[in-house]
């Protein structure tokens, strides 16, 4: 049973975020979480960085859907790195049965033109392919229970998702128009949820607020805010509040250090670290408040002590299952 | 424990204050503090007496405000609050892609032609979402600023592309496009006059139009063709200028700074960039490693702090000290992580000079904040 979450109908999960917020990691964890319990999900990469392969420690992904991980209680995650050039040839073959003409176009530089230079063409191809994987059926059944996209960063996300609508404005009739109408119908429906990954720092939070406003203006369905790499406060109250104000009882700290068998001389340096810890916590809390004003479901993922590996991904996936993918209960409503 | 190889120290003052250095390019993947680094270097060079302009692409709102960049106007403005006692000046500007594009069109065509171009439905789409437009425009603007020769030093913050390499690749990609048959094919209908293009006898061309008209309708093709035709003259000059700027970047007056944070992705991008610069014989000054987490009590390891915290927990009675020891253990672990990241980079690139900027507790959004970053960069 899929879709037990704040977005019961969502099957296409688009994960964006400012550079450095860990959106690839979150997208991968979400794909794993959604696959749990015998589901099949597809994790899609669109920027040619091979970030998914690196994360799963696998060789570079070809333009082909292949299994990359097995989820908890059965279920699998497949991965696909969309290559715009291949997608264009595929698109031409599908819609226009071009065959050899495709190769001729490549020799003429048309493919290069379409995928790197032409306005938005690249994004049209990428979103077209994403829509195709989301809606693909086999013997009357959906091939994927969910598709998760490691999407372009917040600064580009609205334009990326809305590109077919813009191109449709240029092409008033014809196949481009009908194709783009189909893509927009999926992207603007409750089948889609755009999630924004952020850190509790000023710039990513600001970009999140901006991106959510832009997505809403464009009529694209915003899913959740996922706060990545959070750390709990380690100091108990009221010491936390006092430290945030720059106050640490050095006498008490010295006595404590002595009774732990450590040099009392460490006290001033450790006190400074405690103050910085508390200041950071306060700043993070202010950023939390800014995010909460967006009125979106917001979930936090912890900072893992080491660079995220496969084990870490499963841990983050578990967290998402326990929070984002849980049936909203009456009390939380 | 094996001792990691130590990277040579990057002396940024020696780079940015050297009168021979005329351009500093900050590059690196998104989210590593490129803009702040560029602004800090520019501020320091200005306060040390140079006349500096910093070209930023996408600054954080409050940082932009602190530098007086509250509006996009695409021309350098003097930043107030800068210490000019040594005779320097700081100017700053934020790149406005569309406006830069408009300016190029206006400067290189007749007013009527420019009007035609602005009115074309493809223009808006192109000027805003042209793949790599930011890179072209940053390159173009850099060329313009350098040509004006009003500044001792130009500091450039590169666009937040998915890959740091896009900035270098943009001119070549444009060149490939302009030299390609694609452009000529698109121009053919305009030259042959509207719908007459179907009569052109050329095997590959008729194949092309057959394909293209199945994908987009004839009116669109005509619009597109007229547009490309209108841009043709301008494009030629544009490519030449982009190529010139590219060559300029290879001269000793330019210093590339690769900016990264101690994270695998950012350092991987940094590695690619370092290799690429060396292949292109572009002058690399070194690596700026931002947001390095350090401990103020390095003598106490994470492990010992944890053991001591456990001991206090067993004894009871020193809750706050116990918590502070855990804060330290946490921080010491992160410091070890960051050091390991740095050492890994250095063992792959032992000759690349490096400077570290410690992680700050709060974000930088005023000149004082920039000054403290600048001091860390200068090793003060």
Please list every residue in chain B whose beta carbon sits closer than 8 Å to the beta carbon of residue A169.
121
> What's the token pair of residue B139?
């390159």
Residues A41 and A43: their CA atoms lie apart, in Å, by: 7
The whole-angstrom distance between B252's CA and the closest CA on chain A is 31
Please list every residue in chain B whose beta carbon sits closer than 8 Å to the beta carbon of residue A235.
320, 323-324, 327
- Three-class DSSP category at B9: strand
Residues B39 and B41: their CA atoms lie apart, in Å, by: 6
Burial of A89 per CB tally in 10 Å (0-12, 13-18, 19+): buried
Give me the residue from B180, B308, B365 closest to A262, CB to CB. B308
Cβ contact, residue pair B318, A18, below 8 Å: no
Chosen for mutation from B297, B345, B359 (greatest number of chain A CBs closer than 10 Å) is B297
> What's the token pair of residue B160?
């937040």
Interface of A with B in 36-95 (CB under 8 A): 47-49, 51, 54, 92, 95
Reported as a single tens digit per residue, the pLDDT across A244-285 is 999 999 999 999 999 999 999 999 999 999 999 999 999 999
Q: What is the pLDDT along chain A (333 residues), one digit of tens a residue?
A: 344 567 788 999 999 998 889 999 999 999 999 999 899 999 999 987 788 998 998 888 888 999 999 987 889 999 999 987 777 777 666 655 555 566 666 665 666 555 555 556 678 878 989 999 999 999 999 999 999 999 998 988 998 898 877 766 665 555 666 677 889 999 999 999 999 999 998 889 999 999 999 999 999 999 999 999 998 899 999 999 999 999 999 999 999 999 999 999 999 999 999 999 999 999 999 999 999 999 999 999 998 877 778 889 999 999 999 888 875 544 333
Which residue is closest to A177 within chain B, CA to CA? B216
Interface of A with B in 24-43 (CB under 8 A): none
Give me the residue from A47, A92, A235 closest to B327, CB to CB. A235
ω into B304 cis (within 30 of 0): no
Cβ contact, residue pair A108, B318, below 8 Å: no
**Cβ of A279 under 8 Å from any chain B Cβ?**
yes
**Cβ of A109 under 8 Å from any chain B Cβ?**
yes
Please list every residue in chain A whose beta carbon sits closer than 8 Å to the beta carbon of residue B211.
92, 96, 98, 101, 105, 110
Cβ contact, residue pair B176, A176, below 8 Å: no
Please list every residue in chain B whose beta carbon sits closer than 8 Å to the beta carbon of residue A259.
312, 315, 317-318
Give me the residue from A95, A101, A120 closest to B125, CB to CB. A120
Which of the listed ranges B42-51, B52-61, B98-107 does the model predict with the highest average pLDDT?
A: B42-51
Chosen for mutation from A203, A207, A261 (greatest number of chain B CBs closer than 10 Å) is A203
**Cβ of A252 under 8 Å from any chain B Cβ?**
yes
What ipTM does this complex have?
A: 0.79
- Write out the DSSP string of A271-318: HHHHHHHHHHHHHHHHHHHHHHTT-S-EEEEEPPSSS--HHHHHHHHH
Cβ contact, residue pair B323, A269, below 8 Å: no
Residue B181 above 90 pLDDT?
Answer: no
Total residues found in chain B within this entry:
380
Residue B296 above 60 pLDDT?
Answer: yes
**Cβ of A106 under 8 Å from any chain B Cβ?**
no
pLDDT number for residue B127: 64
- Using an 8 Å Cβ cutoff, are B186 and B177 in contact? no
Residues 6+ apart with CB under 8 A from B289: B260, B261, B262, B342, B345, B354, B355, B356, B357
Reported as a single tens digit per residue, the pLDDT across B246-276 is 888 888 899 999 999 998 888 988 998 899 8
Count residue pairs from A and B with Cβ separation < 8 A.
Answer: 207
- Three-class DSSP category at B55: strand
**pLDDT category of residue B174 using cuts at 50, 70 and 90:** low
Taking the model in full, what pTM does it have? 0.82
**Cβ of A273 under 8 Å from any chain B Cβ?**
yes
- Using an 8 Å Cβ cutoff, are B62 and B365 in contact? yes
Burial of B197 per CB tally in 10 Å (0-12, 13-18, 19+): buried
Torsion, Cα B130 B135 B140 B144, to 10 degrees, reads 140
Residues B132 and B74: their CA atoms lie apart, in Å, by: 18
Burial of B286 per CB tally in 10 Å (0-12, 13-18, 19+): buried
The whole-angstrom distance between B54's CA and the closest CA on chain A is 20
Give me the residue from B177, B219, B325 closest to A117, CB to CB. B177
Residue B194 above 50 pLDDT?
Answer: no
pLDDT number for residue B234: 59
Cβ contact, residue pair B29, A252, below 8 Å: no
> What's the token pair of residue A307?
């660079």
Give me the residue from B180, B297, B363 closest to A266, CB to CB. B297
> What's the token pair of residue B196?
């007459």
Please list every residue in chain A whose beta carbon sits closer than 8 Å to the beta carbon of residue B134.
none
pLDDT number for residue B169: 72
Residue with tokens 């700074």: B257
């Amino acid at each position: 049973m899929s879709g037990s979450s704040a977005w019961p109908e969502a099957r296409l999960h688009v994960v964006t975020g400012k550079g450095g917020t860990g959106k690839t990691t979150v997208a991968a964890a979400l794909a794993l979480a959604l696959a749990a319990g015998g589901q099949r999900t597809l994790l899609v990469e669109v920027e040619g960085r091979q970030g998914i392969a690196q994360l799963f420690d696998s060789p570079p992904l070809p333009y082909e859907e292949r299994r990359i991980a097995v989820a908890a209680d059965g279920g699998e995650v497949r991965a696909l790195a969309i290559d715009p050039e291949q997608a264009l040839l595929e698109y031409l073959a599908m819609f226009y049965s071009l065959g050899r003409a495709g190769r001729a176009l490549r020799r003429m530089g048309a493919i290069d033109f379409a995928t790197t230079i032409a306005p938005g063409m690249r994004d049209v191809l990428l979103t077209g392919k994403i829509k195709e994987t989301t809606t693909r059926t086999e013997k009357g059944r959906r091939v994927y229970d969910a598709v998760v996209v490691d999407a372009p960063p917040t600064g580009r996300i609205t334009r990326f998702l809305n590109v077919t609508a813009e191109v449709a404005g240029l092409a008033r009739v014809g196949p481009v128009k009908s194709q783009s109408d189909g893509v927009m119908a999926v992207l603007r429906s409750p089948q889609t949820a755009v999630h924004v990954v952020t850190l509790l720092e000023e710039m990513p939070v600001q970009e999140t607020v901006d991106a959510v406003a832009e997505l809403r203006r464009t009529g694209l369905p915003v899913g959740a805010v996922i706060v990545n790499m959070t750390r709990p406060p380690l100091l108990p109250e009221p010491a936390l509040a006092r430290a945030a104000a720059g106050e640490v009882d050095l006498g008490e700290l010295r006595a404590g250090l002595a009774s732990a068998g450590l040099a009392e001389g460490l006290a001033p340096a450790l006190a400074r670290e405690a103050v910085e810890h508390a200041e950071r916590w306060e700043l993070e809390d202010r950023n939390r408040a800014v995010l909460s004003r967006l009125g979106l479901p917001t979930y936090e993922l912890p900072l893992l002590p080491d660079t995220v590996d496969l084990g870490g991904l499963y841990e983050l996936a578990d967290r998402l299952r326990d929070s984002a993918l849980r049936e909203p209960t009456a009390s939380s409503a | 424990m094996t001792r990691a190889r130590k990277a040579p120290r990057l002396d940024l003052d020696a780079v940015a204050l050297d009168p021979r250095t005329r351009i500093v390019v900050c590059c690196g993947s998104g989210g590593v503090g490129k803009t702040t680094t560029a602004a800090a270097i520019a501020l320091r060079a200005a306060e040390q007496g140079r006349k500096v302009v910093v070209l930023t692409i996408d600054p954080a709102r409050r940082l932009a405000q602190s530098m007086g960049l509250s509006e996009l106007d695409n021309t350098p403005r003097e930043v107030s609050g800068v210490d000019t006692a040594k005779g320097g000046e700081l100017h700053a500007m934020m790149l406005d892609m569309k406006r830069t594009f408009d300016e190029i069109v206006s400067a290189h065509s007749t007013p009527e032609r420019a009007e035609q171009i602005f009115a074309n439905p493809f223009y808006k789409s192109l000027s805003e979402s042209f793949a790599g437009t930011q890179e072209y425009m940053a390159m173009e603007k850099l060329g313009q600023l350098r040509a004006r020769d009003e500044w001792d030093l130009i500091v450039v913050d590169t666009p937040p592309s998915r890959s740091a390499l896009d900035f270098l690749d943009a001119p070549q990609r444009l060149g490939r496009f302009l030299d390609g048959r694609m452009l000529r094919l698109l121009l053919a209908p305009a030259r042959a006059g509207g719908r007459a293009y179907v009569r052109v006898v050329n095997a590959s061309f008729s194949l092309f139009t057959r394909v293209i008209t199945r994908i987009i309708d004839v009116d669109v093709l005509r619009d597109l063709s007229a547009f490309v035709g209108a841009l043709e003259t301008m494009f030629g000059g544009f490519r030449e200028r982009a190529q010139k700027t590219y060559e300029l970047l290879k001269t000793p007056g330019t210093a590339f700074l690769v900016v990264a944070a101690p994270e695998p992705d950012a350092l991987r991008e940094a590695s690619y960039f370092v290799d690429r610069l060396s292949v292109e014989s572009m002058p690399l000054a070194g690596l700026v490693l931002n947001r390095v987490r350090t401990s103020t009590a390095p003598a106490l390891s994470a492990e010992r702090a944890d053991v001591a915290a456990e001991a206090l927990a067993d004894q009871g009675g020193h809750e706050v000290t116990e918590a502070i020891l855990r804060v330290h253990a946490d921080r010491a672990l992160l410091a070890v992580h960051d050091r390991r990241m740095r050492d890994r980079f250095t063992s792959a690139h032992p000759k690349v000079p490096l400077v570290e900027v410690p992680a700050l507790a709060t974000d930088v959004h005023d000149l004082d904040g920039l000054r403290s970053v600048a001091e860390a960069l200068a090793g003060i």
